[in-house]
Structure 1
């Protein structure tokens, strides 16, 4: 019953003439009734009323969140999940973009290196062409080696040798016995000197054990003042007679020593391959 309904009943029954004490009691009843009504109005729908305890005190009612607060909590949780998903997506996108940027940087670096290598090759080719042209011009200015100043076979071979020397200089050989033999074989092929890797290596190991500074100070050549030197133990007069143009004029130079010795062996024995003892 509402407060106004209680007051109305008092008014109808002549409560307007009640004493002050009665008025106070009526107001108290109305207030109590209103409070109860208000409490019932605020209780959640379907909630059970508290059952008094045996001692007379009301038992605690189950506590639950109002529907609006539950909805707000659910909305907040949903929003937080959305933020986490959005942050995760942004992080993954940033990682993908970083990987793409790194790959692009690596690709550009590779293209730059390829362009630099291509440029170096073009410049080297241009230098080789220029060298051949200068050699041809010098030969032409001297009238050439052919009859009547015309170019002949020797002119062509000289230019070819100059070009091959340049190419040989550009080639890279290791500074060891294997590299010395292979470089000597390249020169021998150009000059038409016979010999194989096996034949050269076999004779080097017998004569000097692969030491390019080896020298014989005890045999007859040494007693005659011309000791054998180098990888293939060549004496100076033999080296002077069989030295090949394009190699160093140094008896101790490994490549020059091999080529001169093989040139001498080809003249005396047909090839260094045919030598199996002191020669």
Structure 2
């Protein structure tokens, strides 16, 4: 077959150069198709057109053109699909990042909430422990042993023995000093000695039991007991001794002849009974904190 004559490229315009390049590509296709036709019994012919020439290849050329168009459309569809997939992937990544950030924020908030709860529980536990410690210290200030002291039996009065005076002409009385009474150094002795002191100063003497039950309620029989947690303690004048008197009361109702030490058991009982007589009519009338 005779190929069409292509003008010299150097003397062509830009438009003609582009057209010539297209014609060359078409000529190559035509040669291929012509070979196919020669094998299959087909024919090929060059037909001129305004651009220079065209190639007619019969049905085989039409088929090649159709396949070429389908390939081009597939490339466009593939590019669009790839673009769409890239956009979907980017959106998925963005959503995954947002979800991760939300989970991280929620986890941080939950951790902060748990920490706040743990801190509150720790503070509550510390406060409870401090309160328990204060209670234990307060209890330790009182006598921990509440020994039950049985009151001494009342002395049995014996009928006086009347002796017959010897028959003498003169009886010369001899003055003798009364024997000093010695009291035991325990709660029984302290109570009886305090009763004797009160009687000697013409202060109404309460019963032994009236003194004893108030002593056991207030100090459990501990002469060194001190209350460091009530309202008097808060004022700086804690209750002290067997009957838990404060210093101002002890000093105001102190019974002369006894010690000025508020912890002295006899002095403490005497002053407390003197106070109870002036305020309540006697220690037997006191049945609670006074």
What range is the shorter-chain TM-score in? 0.3 to 0.5
Structure having the higher Rg: 2
TM-score, normalised to structure 2, is 0.39
More helix by percentage: 1
